[in-house]
Amino acid sequence: MTGKTLYDKLWDEHRVRESDDGTALIYIDLQLLHEVTSAQAFGGLREAARVPRRKAANLAVADHNVPTTDRRAGITDPIARLQVETLDRNCKEFGITEFAMTDPRQGIVHVVGPEQGATQPGMTIVCGDSHTATHGALGALAFGIGTSEVEHVLATQCLVARKMKNMRINLNGILPDGVVSKDMILAVIGLIGTSGGTGYAIEFAGTAVSNASMEARMTLCNMAIEAGARSGLVGVDERTITYLQDRPYTPRGEDFECAKDYWLQMVSDPDAVFDQEYDLEVSTLRPQVTWGTSPEMVVSVDDVVPDPADAPDQTRQGDWTRALDYMDLAPGTRIDAIEVDKVFIGACTNGRIEDLRAAAQVASGRKVAPNIKQALVVPGSGLVKTQAETEGLDRIFTEAGFEWREPGCSMCLAMNADRLEPGERCAATSNRNFEGRQGYGGRTHLVSPSMAAAAAIAGRFADPKQL
Amino acid sequence: MEKFINYTSVVIPIDRSNVDTDAIIPKQFLKSVEKSGFGDNLFDAWRYLDQGEPGQDCSNRPLNSEFVLNRKPYREGRVLLARENFGCGSSREHAVWALRDFGIRTVIAGSYADIFFNNCFKNGVLPIVLPSADIDALFDCDKDSGPFSMEIDLDRQTAVTDSGQVYRFEIDDFKKECLLEGLDDIALTLQHEGDIAAYEERRMREVPWLFQDLSR
Chain B residue with the nearest C-alpha to that of A58: B214
Comparing CB atoms, the residue among A54, A128, A198 nearest residue B111 is A198
Q: From the CA of A191, how many Å to the nearest CA of chain B?
A: 16
Tell me what the mean pLDDT of segment A161-180 comes to: 97
User: What is residue B60's predicted lDDT score, i.e. its pLDDT?
Assistant: 95
Q: In sequence order, which residues have a C-beta less than 8 Å from that of residue A85 and are 6 or more positions away?
A: none
Instruction: Give residue B147's region: left, alpha or beta (phi > 0; psi -120 to 50).
Output: beta
Chain A residue with the nearest C-alpha to that of B204: A29
Contact list, B16 vs chain A (CB under 8 Å): 318-319, 322
- Do residue B115 and residue A83 have CB atoms under 8 angstroms apart? no
Residue A20 binned pLDDT confidence (cut-offs 50, 70, 90):
confident
User: What is residue B215's predicted lDDT score, i.e. its pLDDT?
Assistant: 87
Separation between Cα atoms, residue A456 and residue A426, nearest integer Å? 10
Instruction: For A121-168, write each residue's pLDDT tens digit.
Output: 999 999 999 999 999 999 999 999 999 999 999 999 999 999 999 999
Comparing CB atoms, the residue among A39, A59, A199 nearest residue B33 is A39
Strands A374-377 and A443-446: unpaired
Instruction: For B181-215, write each residue's pLDDT tens digit.
Output: 999 899 999 999 999 999 999 999 999 999 999 98
Q: From the CA of A365, how many Å to the nearest CA of chain B?
A: 37
For all residues of chain A together, what is the average pLDDT? 97
Contact list, B192 vs chain A (CB under 8 Å): 16-17, 25, 158
Instruction: For B28-47, write each residue's pLDDT tens digit.
Output: 999 999 999 999 999 999 99
Comparing CB atoms, the residue among A16, A95, A435 nearest residue B199 is A16
Contact A105, A99 (CB under 8 A): yes
Q: From the CA of B42, how many Å to the nearest CA of chain A?
A: 14
* DSSP annotation string for chain B: -PPP--EEEEEEE---S--BHHHHS-GGGGG-SSSS--GGGTTHHHHBSS---TT--GGGSPB-TTSGGGSTTGGG--EEE--TTBTBS---THHHHHHHHHT--EEEES-B-HHHHHHHHTTT-EEEE--HHHHHHHHHHHHHH---EEEEETTTTEEEETT--EEE----HHHHHHHHHT--HHHHHHTTHHHHHHHHHHHHHH-GGGS--TT-
Q: Is B162 exposed, middle or buried (0-12, 13-18, 19+ CB in 10 A)?
A: middle
- Do residue B22 and residue A441 have CB atoms under 8 angstroms apart? no
Cα separation values, A233 from A202, A333, A420, Å: 6, 36, 33
Contact list, A409 vs chain B (CB under 8 Å): none
Domain B7-183, second-level architecture: Alpha-Beta Barrel (3.20)
Q: From the CA of B150, how many Å to the nearest CA of chain A?
A: 23
User: What is residue A21's predicted lDDT score, i.e. its pLDDT?
Assistant: 87
Comparing CB atoms, the residue among B18, B31, B192 nearest residue A79 is B31
- Do residue A56 and residue B214 have CB atoms under 8 angstroms apart? yes
User: What is residue B184's predicted lDDT score, i.e. its pLDDT?
Assistant: 85
Amino acid letter for position B19: V
- Do residue B32 and residue A79 have CB atoms under 8 angstroms apart? yes
What does the domain layout of chain B look like in residue ranges? Answer: 7-183
Top residue of A91, A156, A314, A321 to mutate, by most chain B CBs within 10 Å, is: A156
Tell me what the mean pLDDT of segment B56-61 comes to: 95
User: What is residue A257's predicted lDDT score, i.e. its pLDDT?
Assistant: 96
**What residues form DSSP beta bridges with B8?**
B151
Chains A and B form CB pairs within 8 A to the count of 203
Comparing CB atoms, the residue among A39, A80, A437 nearest residue B22 is A437
Residue A181 reports pLDDT greater than 80: yes
